[in-house]
Structure 1
Amino acid sequence: MTAIYIKIHDELKHQVEMGIYEVGQRLPSERELAEEFGVSRMTLRQAVTSLVEEGILVRHVGSGTFVASDRVREKMRGTTSFTDIIKNLGKTPTSKVLSYQKTAANEVECDKLQLKKGAQIIRMERIRYADDLPICYEVASIPYRLIADFAKHDITNHFYETLENAGKKIGRSEQVISAKIVNKEIATFLSVKTGAAILALTQISYFANNDETPFEYVLSQYVGERFEFYLER
């Protein structure tokens, strides 16, 4: 027998999908919904909480529960640039570079990028936007020898396209995702509250050559309410 809260979950989800509750719309209070479904507020809260966890609804303390805004989605398959992901969704991608420096790779960067101790890299810190809405904060590390002949503008604005135009074929990537709580500094960059939930992504990208040379090591923090990853098999 299906639990009552699951039936309520399914009905509310159906109402969202049918547009009865539109994106950004505030839902009735828990008391009103509990009365509508003829259940206790605890049961109703279980249903709402499960929808929040799925990203269909979002709670704003002091304001209520709302239908979550449309989120950027990325397939966890292959290696795709952020710029291409955003363009494919009909949105305009932009970036704000916070820092761009040539420096010696640290121990972790040497390990991930298969570099010798003391090797030079470009370490780039930037915020990525979709239609001027901040989506993620990232720090990218790139072996300097691979991009020494490229202009800074080409690296910061369309890195993958620059590589492909230079005859480099992009191959696979390794990605690890975890849930985190954003700190004060990053929260400011992403226009969210300190302590908000974010998705932390660690990615190593490789060229499609025989040796599968790693060309990029990236640490990203995505706003959970604005971006989601999904698997396709």
Structure 2
Amino acid sequence: MTAIYIKIHDEIKRQIETGVYTVGQRLPSERVMSEKFGVSRMTLRQAVTSLVEEGILSRYVGSGTYVASDRVREKMRGTTSFTEIIKNLGKTPSSKVISYQKTKANEVECDKLGLKKGAQIIRMERIRYADDLPICYEVASIPHRLIADFAKDDIANHFYDTLAVAGKKIGRSEQIISAKIVNKEIASFLSVKPNSAILALTQVSCFANSEETPFEYVLSQYVGDRFEFYLER
């Protein structure tokens, strides 16, 4: 027999999916909703809590419970391009390049990419969008010798597709996620308030060859209420 709170969970979720409650809308109070469903506040709270844990609702102390923003979701299971993630969700991906330069790799870039001191890289700073909504600010570092024959547009707008056409197979990646506060400059790029909480991702991606050659080192900052990561075992 299905628990009552699960039935309420499913009904609230259905109402969100059918537009009874829309993104950003505040739900009625616990008292009103518990009376509506004919259950105790404790049972209603169980249903709402489960929806909050799933990211469908967001709860703010002193304010109420709201339908969460429509987040882009990435499954943490390997190296996947941002463009592919967004397209798979039925959204339109795009990028805005802030800077693009050939320069010497710094100490951290040399370490992450397995380069010798003084090696040349392409360092690219850009904003990534889904349906024109800024999702991510990133700085990508790529060994120049690996992409010397590619045009800037090939790198800036469809890097992974360019690698695939060139016969380069993408392998594993190492990813570290942390929480941080966004500074004023990047906040303006992402259309959020300075000092907002964001998700920071550090990723090193490698080719699927015997040496597992690193080909990209990326520092990304994602808007927390527009993007989420989840794990699958």
Moved more, 193-202 or 140-149: 193-202
Following superposition, the deviation at residue 182 of structure 1 comes to 1.8
Residue aligning to 1:75: 75
Whether contact under 8 Å (1:23, 1:69) holds in the other structure is no
Task: Provide the C-alpha distance between the structure 2 equivalents of 1:89 and 1:226, rounded to a whole number of angstroms.
Answer: 13
Paired residue secondary structure (1:18): helix
How high is the TM-score relative to the length of structure 2? 0.84
The residue aligned with 1:110 is 110
Q: Summarize deviations over 1:163-185 as a string: whole Å, max 9, x none.
A: 11111111111111112222222
In the alignment, is residue 23 of structure 1 matched against residue 22 of structure 2? yes
**47-56 vs 129-138, which deviates more?**
47-56
Over the aligned positions, Cα root-mean-square deviation in angstroms equals: 2.7
For structure 1, which segment, 163-172 or 54-63, has the greater mean C-alpha deviation from structure 2 after superposition? 54-63
Could you tell me whether the CA contact under 8 Å between 2:9 and 2:47 is conserved in 1? no
- Cα 1:196–1:44 change in 2 (3 A) is farther
Would you say the 8 A contact 1:78–1:173 is kept in 2? yes
C-alpha distance 195-31 of structure 1, shift in aligned 2 (>3 A): farther
Deviation string 1:105-152 (CA, Å, 9 cap, x unpaired) is 111000000000111111100000000011111000000111111100
Classify the secondary structure of the residue corresponding to 2:84: helix
Larger displacement relative to structure 2 (132-141 or 15-24): 15-24
User: How far does the alpha carbon of each residue in 1:53-73 deviate from its partner, in whole angstroms, 9 at most, with x for none?
Assistant: 653223579975420122111
Aligned length: 224
Q: Secondary structure at the match of 2:15?
A: coil
More displaced 10-residue stretch of structure 1: 153-162 or 69-78: 69-78
What is the distance in 2 between the residues matched to 1:16 and 1:140?
Answer: 41
Could you tell me whether the CA contact under 8 Å between 1:16 and 1:67 is conserved in 2? no
Q: Is the 8 A contact 2:124 2:141 kept in 1?
A: yes
What's the % identity of the aligned pairs?
79
Say which SS state the counterpart of residue 28 (structure 2) adopts: coil
Unaligned runs of 5+ in 1: 1-6
Between 205-214 and 50-59, the greater mean CA deviation after superposition: 50-59
Instruction: Provide structure 2 residue ranges, at least 5 long, that are not aligned to the other structure.
Output: none
